[in-house]
Amino acid sequence: MPGGFFSMACLVCGRTKARPVIRIADVPLLCNFLYPAKEDALRAEKGVIDLVFCPHCGHLYNRTFAQDQIRYRPGYENALHYSGLYRQYAEEEVQRLLTRYLLAGRRVLDIGCGDGAFLRLFRQKGQCRGIGFDPAIEPGAATSFSDGGIRIIPDTFSGRSDETGADLYVARQVLEHLAAPLDFLATIRSAMDSDRSVLFLEVPDGSSLLAQCSLWDLIYEHVSFFTAASLAYLLGLASFSSAPPRSVFSGQYLAVDAFPAEPSVLSNNELIREGIAETGRLLEGFPACCLARKQRAENLLKTALTGGRRAVVWGAGSKGIAFLNSLPAGADISFVIDINPNKQGKFVPGSGQQVMGPEFLADYRPDTVFIANDIYREEIRSRLDALRIAARIHCL
């Protein structure tokens, strides 16, 4: 790991001696905002990721992040529930929460709810009442549902009195987007009007990212990359207690149930001490591993495209878009495949590929399919088999 320190305060603990990890330039500010026109996609704003590590709490964050450059608005699309594999995971989490906390018929508040898919599961499985918040809801999209049990507000969560009183607060894939995560959790803590309320958090797993050298998981809109240690530390500061965060969805996410408590400083906690030490070990080889992975991917791309052969990337999410924007050879790929119908027909920020549905491949007949997220490999292989596409598959 490179030597030296940076003085920008850690987003979790506030300490000012962060160690440099890796720097990546020219990354789209918003990977999950796709464009209706290719020309606009090619002109998408870009920024720099300067990833640093806080040795006090174990947190990883982008010290050059500018929150005022990020605007979540209609067109921002990162729904994953079109995948059967992901739906199974979400359904299992909902059932676990319903059963463990006796939430049937209770009120669930989901911050960053997207189209309300997670809330609908609570409604279907437990007859819960739901309220969701998301500033990226499309104009004209459904903000209430037929039986009146769910309402979505196209705005950010502010903790006003009319937004309180839930039995379960949910923030999935939200915390990593915020430059002031402690303030966000404090707002939720203040909104809780009962010590029996529960907070369910889910974030990308920063330790897994390091262990797997997941270069394509480094995206600008994620200012934070939480480890189990830094997430536990943050929850303690924000007046929550919890069991250690769980690794879920094949190591891709951290999930935790948290409860109102007195504030605590956990720097001497065994989980945090061990977590910080483990993160330090993982960081030692991370930059070199990323460089090797990038070179391997560039070579694979060049080989796949020689002699007029065709290749596509499957997955127009953050991994696929980061991949295409990081490699010169990515410009020679014309299409990205995604099963999310809200992405199809649009264009990738920065690199400009058009997103198409799987059925497009029946005519396009690619020779190689690059899979952005290998957790979906079998699901994608089944789709290709159904379309009688005998392409080579490479996981990025």
Domain end call among 264, 293, 320 = 264
Residues 213 and 345 in one domain: no
Alpha helices (runs of H) in the chain, residue ranges in sequence order: 38-42, 84-100, 117-126, 181-191, 206-211, 228-237, 270-284, 286-304, 318-326, 361-364, 377-386
Q: What is the pLDDT of residue 64?
A: 94
What DSSP string runs through 320-384?
HHHHHHH-GGGGG--EEE-S-TTTTT-B-TTT-PEEE-GGGHHHH--SEEEES-GGGHHHHHHHH
Domain end call among 210, 242, 264 = 264
Tell me which residue of 41, 4, 36 sits closest to 21, measured CA to CA.
4
Residues 243 and 113 in one domain: yes
Residues 236 and 310 in one domain: no
Range of the domain at 324: 305-395
Phi-psi region of 76 (alpha: psi -120 to 50; beta: other; left: phi over 0): beta
Token look-up 């969701």 returns 132
Q: What is the pLDDT of residue 271?
A: 82
Q: What is the pLDDT of residue 2?
A: 41
Distance in angstroms (rounded) separating the CA atoms of residues 239 and 261: 5
Tally of domains in the chain: 2
Cβ–Cβ under 8 Å, residues 371 and 85: no
Which one-letter DSSP state was computed for residue 225? E
281 part of a folded domain: no
Block means of pLDDT (10 residues each) for the chain, 396 residues, are 59 94 97 97 97 96 94 93 97 98 97 95 97 85 68 90 84 97 96 88 98 96 97 94 94 97 73 92 96 95 94 97 93 96 97 98 97 96 97 94
Domain CATH number, residue 125: 3.40.50.150
Residues 229 and 351 in one domain: no
Domain end call among 203, 233, 264 = 264
Residues 322 and 241 in one domain: no
44 part of a folded domain: no
Token look-up 């039986």 returns 147
Integer CA distances (angstroms), 67 to 12, 155, 176, 322, in order:
16, 17, 12, 19
Q: What is the pLDDT of residue 145?
A: 61
Radius of gyration of the chain, Cα coordinates, nearest whole angstrom:
21
Phi-psi region of 159 (alpha: psi -120 to 50; beta: other; left: phi over 0): left
Token look-up 């990025």 returns 396
61 part of a folded domain: no
Which one-letter DSSP state was computed for residue 35? B
Residues 216 and 123 in one domain: yes
Distance in angstroms (rounded) separating the CA atoms of residues 152 and 231: 27
Domain CATH number, residue 390: 3.40.50.720
